[in-house]
Amino acid sequence: MWMPTQDEAVEMYARFLAARHGKAASQYARKNAAKFLAKGDFAGHAIWTRVAGAVERGSENSANLEGVMALS
């Protein structure tokens, strides 16, 4: 049975959030990270922060690809 690594899981969830929440996906992930931090769950905070970063990197990559496609 295939089990994703933590890095793969973060990337998959980031893509899911981006598809579901669009431009608000990063904000959604950061709010969840803050909730975990407020509860003292540092591991949960770290994961949600990584998801938010992956969402932001994904949107930057999408913007870069759109710019390249516009130049073609």
Alpha-carbon span 46 to 14, nearest angstrom: 14
Secondary structure of 15-72 as H, E, C letters? HHHHHHHHHHHHHHHHHHHHHHHHCCCHHHHHHHHHHHHHHHHHHHHHHHHHHHHHHC
> Which pTM value belongs to this model?
0.79
**Residue 1: inside a domain, yes or no?**
no
Question: Residue 47's closest CA among 11, 2, 1, 4?
Answer: 11
Domain count, the chain: 1
Residues of the domain holding 30: 6-71
pLDDT in single tens digits along all 72 residues of the chain: 989 999 999 999 999 999 999 999 999 999 999 999 999 999 999 999 999 999 999 876 654 444 544 555
**Residue 46: inside a domain, yes or no?**
yes
**Residue 64: inside a domain, yes or no?**
yes
Return the number of other C-beta atoms located less than 10 Å from residue 44's C-beta. 15
